[in-house]
A and B are shown apart, each in its own frame.
Chain A
């Protein structure tokens, strides 16, 4: 079995560092920009995230999660902490063509990961409004109350839909995992 990129990073392999940046750099940058807007804050956040990735690389266990999920989980925790600490509302993302070039390949490639592919399928099967609430909260970093206001919906409804949506996705992923296990 080949050694994962993160295991190689943990061993101090500089070529693996470059490969991790090739593989996940644009992804983490895109997630940070979506959460924090095109601001110096997003750049600081990405630096925090990669410092955490380097220092956590030796804890990566390929049998427990895929590498992209491990990286995204670290990124997510740092982005939420930053958003809460600064009490900021995520900015709407306006792409400045002078500052960054759109380059969808590295991000689109993540659907090659079977779990991400399955999540996309479950999300696509959900009612549009439920999907939108998950997108505003999980992908764009809006709070319960901001979503309630934006969607003109009681706060309790937002909370319930986020909770039900996530439970539904977890349940579907577990079913997929069982089926994959049976087919293996």
Chain B
């Protein structure tokens, strides 16, 4: 893999990119479309999970009111809808 492309893909997955770097990455991806699905996104997600799982202070229960809000944002159950009602 092109070294600069790899560097930008890693930076995108770890830190995020600024506008200039995003433009540079888009340019490089035109030459290397095979790297369009950034493989480092999944790797960093796994590392984040691994670090969370081993952090003794990392686990916190979600507040109940937040959980209720999240449930309300979910798609509704189409199977129970009454088309006549």
Contacts and interface: CB of A to CB of B under 8 A. Distances in A.
Interface of A: 9-14, 17-18, 21, 25-31, 33-34, 43, 46-47, 50-51, 54, 65, 68-69, 72-73, 75-77, 80-81, 83-84, 93, 95, 99-108, 110-111, 113, 115-116, 119-120, 123-124, 134-135, 137-139, 143-144, 159, 162-163, 166, 169-170, 173
A1 to B, nearest CB: 21
A123 B51 contact: yes
B62 A12 contact: no
Interface string B58-69: 111111001101
- Interface of chain B: mostly helix, strand, loop or mixed: helix
15 contacts: A12-B78, A21-B67, A26-B60, A27-B52, A33-B60, A72-B45, A80-B16, A84-B18, A101-B61, A105-B59, A106-B59, A113-B49, A116-B49, A119-B49, A138-B48
B46 interface: yes
Interface in B19-70: 39-63, 66-67, 69-70
- Interface of chain A: mostly helix, strand, loop or mixed: helix
B73 interface: yes
Interface residues of B, number: 46
Given A12-B76, A25-B67, A169 B62 contact: no
Given A26-B61, A72-B45, A102-B60, 12 more contacts: A12-B75, A21-B62, A30-B60, A43-B63, A46-B66, A69-B42, A100-B60, A110-B49, A119-B46, A120-B53, A166-B44, A170-B43
